[in-house]
A and B are shown apart, each in its own frame.
Chain A
Amino acid sequence: MKVLAFVDSSHYAVSVCDHAAWAASTLSVPVELLHVLERHRSDARIAADRSGRLGIDTRETLLAQIVALDEQRNRLAHESGRHLLDEAAARVRQGGVEGITQRLVHGTLVDNLREHERDAALVVLGKEGEGAGGPDSHLGSNLERVVRGSHRPVLVTSQSFHPIRRFLLAFDGGASTGRAIDFLVNHPLLSDAEGHLLMVSEGTESHRYQLEDASTRLQASGLSVSHHLRSGEPEHVIPQAVKEMEANLLVMGAFGHSRIRNLMVGSTTTALLATSTVPLLIIR
């Protein structure tokens, strides 16, 4: 098992490293740092020659020209990528983690996540990637695709790391929150933190029962948790509770509803991803 952390040159990189270091030392597993390089393809940037002339071995010459250009650009990208990883590794080591591997890969974040997450206990990534706007900027669809594409718990970090003393688990009784509970029972990630189970519901008998049951399970595994039941819109109630309880982490099951429903009424997960100021632990 390992903690898989995606670092890039955005201002979330340091926070990703800190979160990864925290998770890895709590879980006593190594960290794998991954930086995804976008391939530079400059073929469209070579000076267009509209002479329409075919010279001797035009094909080979043109190909050699394109390859040389790409090679130059990509070498620079490689170097800065290595540098970025070295810095990230140093930061994680400061956080007290020894086993650190660094990997520089090509392609897209989603594809690489799928390929490298197999033996990851946890995936850590920043809320925004490179090239995204300032702190206020809207969450791109990329993160949602990443979270949807992952089969592992994903920790989406906020801009800076704060020690996790309290966490809030958004409980809806669905299958993915059930898996969130399983995760917390089986992994000592949050065993030192104080937990709050929150269910947004009108308080039917069965909901109450589910909530208490979950709470008992967590307590049985040694976590200190209390549970709360509130009514209202989850998109509003949950952030409010996070603020009130001064939680440092929001844990939730992801995308409980179908894509079709999300398309029509919007997904709670997407809304929380966009608005949350604390890190999110999303479990599918």
Chain B
Amino acid sequence: MRVGNWRAEWFGNIRGDVLAGIVVALALIPEAIAFSIIAGVDPKVGLYASFSIAVIIAFAGGRPGMISAATGAMALLMVSLVRDHGLEYLFAATILTGVLQVIAGVLGLARVMRFVSSSVMTGFVNALAILIFMAQIPELQGVGWQTYPMVVAGLAIIYLLPRVTTAVPSPLVSIVVLTIVTLILGLDVRTVDNMGELPSSLPVFLLPDVPINLETLMIILPYALPLTVVGLLESLMTASIIDDFTDTGSDKNRESTGQGIANVATGFLGGMAGCAMIGQSVINVKSGGRGRLSTFIAGAFLLVLVVGLGDAVGKVPMPALVAVMIMVSIGTFSWRSLANLRTHPRTSSVVMLATVAVVVATHNLAYGVLVGVLLSGIFFAWKIGQIFGVHSTISDDGRLRTYVVTGQVFFASAESFLSAFDFDEALDQVCIDVSRAHFWDISAVAALDRVVLKFRRDATEVELIGMNEASATIVDRLGIHDKVDALDYVPGH
């Protein structure tokens, strides 16, 4: 890396980065606690993770100005691992996730992101928002009536205070006010203290207390794989969002590797796996953060605050936290996508809704993305299959018919290819001109074979024109055949 570049990425915007980093640190604390609760671990696990991921990604990441920490998307994937096997296995899974992400980064798998269409991405954020909201519901059930007015008051402060001033983070004010009110009135509501242990010291390096054998690997691998995928997906998606804001590029493979390094280290420091956060990254940019320093300050200041304030953090009432998380959920959801349902092509809407539905049903963002990507692929094949036509002319004496095939012939259009021929016509000769068609796969070639055989049975002589050019596009069979060259052979394209 060039020295000038390095300096610009770190110290190009010191004032903005420091202030934005502080805003983000304050916003990260309630989220880290809330996501720990979702995962079923002590708040300290999420807080240590947020500290370590943010600080490490500040150095190792490929997208300056992006915030990474403990996230809801990742927390949701580890619930059953923690419940069934315990915390130590979570640390081991976090380390394995990191290793897999480093491998993905080194292999340059960021390229695969191109198969994730924007409808799938929208589905991803919407599903995430819904899951974050749903995770708050248990906090609202079976609690005293005081909880409800507190949540409403919290939301009121969060949304109305910025009309008065945007100099202080309104979620923080909301939390402070509600905490003080709870203490003064002695309200009977649950507090963060009830949720588990808070950090009282700096994190220390420790090896996860799990047996190192195949059995352990088989336990953590099914968790590490979706964690890897979801972590990279959300990180690269967030990186693109920040790219758009700042109109600068980012190194997606370096980001993947950086996420991996951050997760490996976090596992050893007693934290849970995390990734980039869309909401916090937007808050960072909005607050004026642009460089790596903002991410570093966010992580470092978070730890200082939590360790320094220790006891006070424990006094925060859960309704205040719920209010903040409802805001995060509302802010994460793409409301515009609802309006777009009416105007976007129906297939994109189906992909988006299917992604959301699968995630909400399985609580696993990886499955949703998988279904979304598959559906987009199928829809695309279906659409491209429409770009296909067969036209025919008969000779004056009625003995010869010439079929001209144009467009894409492959598995999705092979059937319509077959039905485009009229086998009831008794002809002496048939000429099939395929020089302007693309024969993409074996299904297409098989369909053509069947057409030829059918005509032959009826004693019709078949002449094929341009088969070599058309089948030059069967890239699979030709293996290393240069595609650009293949398309040159086909004037119909």
Q: Is the CB of A53 within 8 A of B171?
A: yes
List the B side residues contacting A58 at CB < 8 Å.
282, 286, 331
Say how far A114's CB is from chain B's closest CB, in angstroms: 17
**A44: B residues at CB distance < 8 A:** 13, 16, 288, 290
In the complex, per-residue mask of A52-64: 1 if CB is within 8 Å of any chain B CB, else 0: 1111111110110
The interface residues of chain A lying within 8 Å CB-to-CB of B19 are 48, 50
Interface readout for A21-59 with B: 1 if CB under 8 Å, 0 if not? 000000000000000000101011000111111111111
- B residues within 8 A CB of A54? 279, 282-283, 327-328, 330-332
When the two chains form their complex, are residues A51 and B162 in contact, meaning their CB atoms are under 8 A apart?
yes
Q: Which residue of A lies closest to B12 (CB)?
A: A44
Scan residues 47-86 of chain A and give those whose CB is less than 8 A from a CB of chain B: 48-60, 62-63, 66, 70
Contact call B247/A53, Cβ cutoff below 8 A: no
Which residues of A are found within 8 Å of B334, using beta-carbon distances? 57, 60
Please, which residues of chain A bring their CB within 8 A of the CB of B162? 49, 51, 53
- Evaluate whether A43 and B247 lie within 8 angstroms (CB atoms) in the complex, with A51-B161, A52-B26, A54-B283 already known: yes
Instruction: Name the residue of chain A whose CB is nearest to the CB of B331.
Output: A54
A60 and B13 alpha carbons, distance in the complex (Å):
24
Q: In the complex, what distance in Å separates the CA atom of A50 from the CA atom of B165?
A: 9
Q: A55 — which chain B residues lie within 8 A by C-beta?
A: 159, 330-331
Residues of A within 8 A of B169 (CB): 50-53
A49–B16 Cα gap in the complex (Å)?
11
Total interface residues on B, using CB and 8 Å? 43
**A52 with B23: CB separation less than 8 A:** yes
The B contact surface, by secondary structure, is helix
B166 proximity list for chain A (CB < 8 A): 49-51
Chain B 333-367 residues near chain A, CB threshold 8 A:
334-336
Report the separation of the CA atoms of residues A41 and B248 in the bound assembly, to the nearest whole angstrom. Answer: 10
B286 touches A62 (CB 8 A): yes
Decide: A57 and B335 in contact? CB cutoff 8 A: yes
The residues of A that contact B290 with a CB separation of less than 8 Å are 43-44
17 further A-B contacts with Cβ under 8 Å, apart from A43-B246, A50-B166, A53-B327, are A41-B246, A43-B245, A43-B285, A48-B20, A50-B169, A50-B287, A51-B170, A52-B27, A53-B169, A53-B283, A54-B279, A54-B332, A55-B159, A57-B334, A62-B286, A63-B244, A70-B247
Residues in B lying within 8 Å of A, measured CB to CB: 13, 16, 19-20, 23-24, 26-27, 158-159, 161-162, 165-172, 241, 244-248, 278-279, 282-283, 285-288, 290, 327-328, 330-332, 334-336
| 8 tightest Cβ-Cβ pairs between the two chains A and B | A54-B331, A52-B169, A48-B288, A51-B162, A51-B166, A49-B166, A52-B27, A50-B287
